[in-house]
Amino acid sequence: MTELLKVNNLVTQFKTENGIVKAVSDVSYYLDELEIIGLVGESGCGKSVSQLSVMQLINAPGEITGGEVIFEGKDILKYAPHSPQMRAIRGARIAMIFQEPMTSLNPVLTIGQQLTEMLVLHLKMNAEAARKRAIELLGMVGIPAAEGRIDDYPHNFSGGMRQRVMIAMGLSCNPRILIADEPTTALDVTTQAQLLELMRDMVKHFRASLIIVTHNLGVVARYAKRIYIMYAGRIVESGTTKDIFSKPRHPYTIGLLKCIPRLDEEEGRKLVPIEGLPPNLINMPPTCAFLPRCSWKIDKCYKEPWPDITPVNDNHYIRCFVDTSDVNNEPKKQ
């Protein structure tokens, strides 16, 4: 498979009164054609900011201070955020779906106006063709009687329906990459399942690749082929979904898998919480940010800065000094 997107050593910082917030530090990942990958982490770990950086949607006081984003062979970070080249990519070649379907649609424009805007702008369609295509797209994402609904406003739609509209918008210009940032978090369980299935089918239909940004390990286990785990602005572990769930190597990943309740767990299983709190991203020490919460730490962790991400296996990388594999790490049903 060919590589579609490659992000190298991305750094995004926010200058605040209290100091510099290193939201994303040294993040590298790649995405192949027709692939679904997952970017997992807790709130504030930089997973959303890293994706907004790819789209160059970072506003002051935020700034992308380093790295490159290679999309179809070109470093798109070289384009200015408002340059015609970047505009031709953003929304058209790389599209994004946001978490809040309630707030990411404009309440004073109809669904049709918002959907045709992109078609006219990016695909240079005339109004009539755009409207026809918009109705077609709404039908594809499962909005019943789309001709009748296209002139409705966002408030006429339920949360799930609004997110369907967002999916239609995201895919309207045949993007190569769809970035879904917590696409179903605000929705009900059965609606979540509907939308995730829809998103997977639609991405397949449009021959696009999908990046799912989420805190839900279940969602990535079900849909993603490869996973990147983020903590405190860095990727701490990456690998195939099966490797990460069956042989997690970074202490944070190991901890995360032990602290979530599972639907199929056996009775009497005790959760093992990760003690402590995620770090403040201002004035972080050079040592590993997970160190204060880590149960595997060794002396070296205190003395040396956070190590680079290194391979432990084919396609399985961690950012850690400790070899956690000599203890039996199989995901036990405790």
Partner 1 sequence: MNQKNNNVILEVNDLKMYFPVMRGLLRRKVADIKAVDGVSFNLKKDETLGLVGESGCGKTTIGRCILGLYRATAGNILFQDKDIAKMPEKKLREMRREIALIFQDPYSSLDPRQNAGNIVGEPLKIHQMVMNRGEYKDRVEQLFRTVGLDPSMIDRFPHEFSGGQRQRIGVARALACNPSLIICDEPISALDVSIQAQIINLLEELQDGARELSYLFIAHDLSVVRHISDRVAVMYLGHIFEICKSRELYDKPLHPYTRALLSAIPIADPFVEETRERIILKGEVPSPLNPPSGCPFHPRCFMAVPECSQSVPTLKEVIPGHEVACIRV
Query: Could you list the residues that contact partner 1 (CB under 8 A)?
Result: 42-43, 158, 160-161, 188-194, 197, 215-219, 221-223, 241-242, 245-246, 255-257, 259-265, 267, 269-275, 277-278, 331
Specify the 3-state DSSP secondary structure of 328: coil
Residue 66 or 159 having the CB closest to partner 1: 159
Q: Which of 103, 22, 18, 9 is nearest to 62 (CA)?
A: 22
For the CB of residue 131, give the shortest distance to partner 1 in the complex, in Å. 26
Residue 257 or 291 having the CB closest to partner 1: 257
For the CB of residue 169, give the shortest distance to partner 1 in the complex, in Å. 20
Residue 144 or 286 having the CB closest to partner 1: 144
**Cβ density class 262-286: b for 16+ within 10 Å, e for less:** eeeeeeeeeeeebeeebbebeebee
For residue 70, the one-letter residue type is I
For the CB of residue 68, give the shortest distance to partner 1 in the complex, in Å. 31
For the CB of residue 62, give the shortest distance to partner 1 in the complex, in Å. 22
By the 8 A CB rule, do 234 and 289 touch?
A: yes
DSSP class of residue 241 equals H
d(CA 288, CA 96): 31
Q: Where in the chain does DSSP place strands (E)? A: 3-16, 19-32, 36-40, 62-71, 74-75, 94-97, 177-181, 209-214, 226-231, 234-240, 310-313, 316-318
Residue 76 or 202 having the CB closest to partner 1: 202
d(CA 255, CA 252): 5
What order of strands is seen across the sheet that includes strand 310-313?
94-97, 177-181, 209-214, 36-40, 226-231, 234-240, 316-318, 310-313
Per the listing, tokens 């907004």 go with 52
Q: Which of 223, 275, 271 is nearest to 251 (CA)?
A: 275
d(CA 77, CA 100): 26
For the CB of residue 197, give the shortest distance to partner 1 in the complex, in Å. 6
Residue 128 or 266 having the CB closest to partner 1: 266
For residue 260, the one-letter residue type is I
Residue 61 or 218 having the CB closest to partner 1: 218
For the CB of residue 60, give the shortest distance to partner 1 in the complex, in Å. 26
Residue 73 or 261 having the CB closest to partner 1: 261
Residue 98 or 157 having the CB closest to partner 1: 157
For the CB of residue 65, give the shortest distance to partner 1 in the complex, in Å. 27
For the CB of residue 280, give the shortest distance to partner 1 in the complex, in Å. 10
